[in-house]
């Protein structure tokens, strides 16, 4: 028999494009109550506005009813700015979707493990960072690794990697830390399925399957531009029309954010020690300049 997720209330940490998208599919498709938190109230407000627009568009297109849209809206509650994760004590699962930074994620998971019940599933939407390292942060310092408390704390950590734009992309990559229990994996898988996603499983290796393949592709496209192999437009058009990709690799890198691409590429490079993952110097310079793509208004393209 397929496992049930048993999630009635979900906490989402981070209301950027990913967190917002996760909140959206959870409220609309999995029909769970969502408690959304971001340290920037402005980010939450712009995210909620965007969610309203998406729901209105789906109603106008006849994909969902007005009642579905209103119910989804009502299911999303904003967590008070001061309480932060303390206001998530009653949730059954948390999905963390903050920026791709190991120590930031470790601090968040340490706090979550201290504030929330040991039965709460702690999922990370990380796109490349080791889940095993994140899970280790939930074990209190000085605790014996073989103790029941240490085992239980880390066993509920799992990787749930959604793709951008979350409402559109049909995949979730499920990643097991060394410490993750089978029950956590089964429930996380069932939850992703309830969100309307197909689930693939990857081992906890740098970049998992998705980004171990995608990031070198984007990095290589930037190296082509760096070497003058072809123009920006010719690189992207070659892949769009020659291989039927919805976006060329340069365009896709800017859609993801060149800073995120660089962070993932660095994780691949340092995590494997393999020179084939060396980030392109041009990619580093673009990030140095703050030319990150769509989110900063400028990258290889301009976004007026
Ligand atoms: N949020 C929600 N919905 C969105 C959206 C967004 N940000 N952007 C577009 N959409 C929806 C549109 O509303 C539209 O929906 P309807 O069919 O209901 O009208 C649909 O997507 C198609 O949009 P458009 O017609 O405006 O544009 P398009 O046909 O060019 O598609 C795209 C846009 C879906 C983004 C498409 O270009 C695409 O699939 N690109 C590749 C995206 C991709 O590879 N994403 C994965 C990135 S890697 C990642 O996320 C993980 C990581 O670890 C880095």
Distance, in Å, from the CA atom of 221 to the CA atom of 285, rounded to the nearest integer, reads: 15
Domains in the chain: ranges and CATH:
9-203 (3.40.50.720), 210-293 (1.10.1040.50)
Closest CA to 29 of 188, 174, 192: 192
- For the chain (length 304 residues), average pLDDT per consecutive 10? 83 94 98 95 93 96 97 94 82 95 94 93 96 94 84 94 98 97 97 98 96 98 98 98 98 96 95 96 98 97 96
CA-nearest residue for atom 12, ligand 1, is 168
Residue 56 CA, distance from chain mean position: 24
pLDDT of residue 2: 62
Number of H helices, E strands in the chain: 12, 8
The model's pLDDT over 69-123, given as tens digits with 9 standing for 90+, comes to: 999 999 999 997 777 788 898 999 999 999 888 999 999 999 999 999 999 999 9
C-alpha distance from residue 140 to each of 19, 26, 149, 171 (Å): 27, 31, 9, 33
The verdict on whether 144 is a catalytic residue reads no
Interatomic CA distance for residues 8 and 120, integer angstroms: 11
DSSP-assigned beta bridge partners for residue 172: 162, 199
Task: Say whether 101 is catalytic.
Answer: no
ipTM value for the complex: 0.97
Q: Give the position, in ligand 1's atom list, of the atom nearest the Cα of 58.
A: 18
Quote the CA–CA distance of 281 and 111 in Å, as a whole number: 36
Instruction: Given the residues 176, 210, 211, 219, select the one marked as catalytic.
Output: 211
Structure tokens at 72: 């989804």
Burial code of 170-187, b = ≥16 C-beta within 10 A, e = fewer?
Answer: eebbbbbbebbbeebbeb
In this prediction, residue 1 carries a pLDDT of: 53
pLDDT of 279 reads: 98
Phi, psi of 12 (to 5 degrees): -120, 125
pLDDT at residue number 59? 97
Residue with CA at minimum distance from ligand 1 atom 35 = 165
- d(CA 270, CA 278) in angstroms, rounded, equals 9
Which residues, 6+ apart, have CB-to-CB distance to 273 below 8 Å? Answer: none
Give the per-residue pLDDT at 84: 78
Indicate the top mutation candidate among 27, 51, 165, 264 to test ligand 1's pocket, ranked by most ligand atoms within 8 A of CB: 165
Q: How far apart are CA 248 and CA 238, in angstroms?
A: 8
Nearest in space to 271 (alpha carbons), one of 128, 159, 83, 150: 128
Going by the annotation, the residues of the binding site for NAD(+) are 14-19, 38, 100, 105, 127, 164, 295
pLDDT of residue 52: 96
């Amino acid at each position: 028999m397929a496992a049930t997720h048993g999630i009635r209330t979900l906490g989402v940490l981070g209301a950027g494009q990913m967190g917002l998208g996760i909140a959206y599919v959870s409220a609309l498709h999995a029909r769970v109550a969502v408690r959304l938190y971001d340290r920037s109230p402005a980010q939450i407000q712009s995210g909620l506005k965007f969610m309203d627009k998406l729901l209105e568009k789906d109603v106008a297109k006849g994909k969902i009813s007005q009642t579905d849209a209103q119910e989804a809206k009502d299911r999303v509650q904003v967590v008070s700015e001061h309480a932060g994760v303390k206001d998530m004590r009653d949730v059954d699962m948390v999905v963390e979707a903050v920026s791709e930074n190991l120590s930031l994620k470790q601090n968040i998971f340490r706090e979550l493990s201290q504030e929330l019940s040991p039965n709460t599933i702690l999922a990370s939407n990380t796109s490349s960072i080791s889940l095993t390292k994140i899970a280790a942060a939930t074990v209190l310092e000085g605790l014996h690794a073989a103790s029941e408390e240490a085992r239980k704390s880390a066993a509920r950590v799992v990787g749930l990697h959604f793709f951008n734009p979350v409402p559109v992309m049909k995949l979730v990559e499920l990643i097991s830390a060394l410490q993750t229990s089978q029950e956590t994996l089964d429930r996380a898988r069932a939850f992703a399925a309830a969100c309307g996603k197909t689930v693939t499983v990857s081992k906890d290796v740098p970049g998992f399957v998705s980004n171990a393949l995608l990031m070198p592709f984007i990095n290589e496209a930037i190296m082509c531009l760096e070497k003058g192999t072809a123009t920006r437009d010719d690189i992207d058009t070659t892949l769009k029309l020659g291989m039927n990709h919805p976006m060329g690799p340069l365009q896709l890198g800017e859609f993801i954010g060149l800073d995120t691409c660089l962070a993932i590429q660095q994780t691949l490079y340092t995590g494997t020690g393999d020179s084939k993952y060396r980030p392109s110097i041009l990619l580093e310079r673009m990030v140095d300049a703050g030319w990150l793509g769509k989110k900063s208004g400028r990258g290889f393209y301009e976004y007026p």
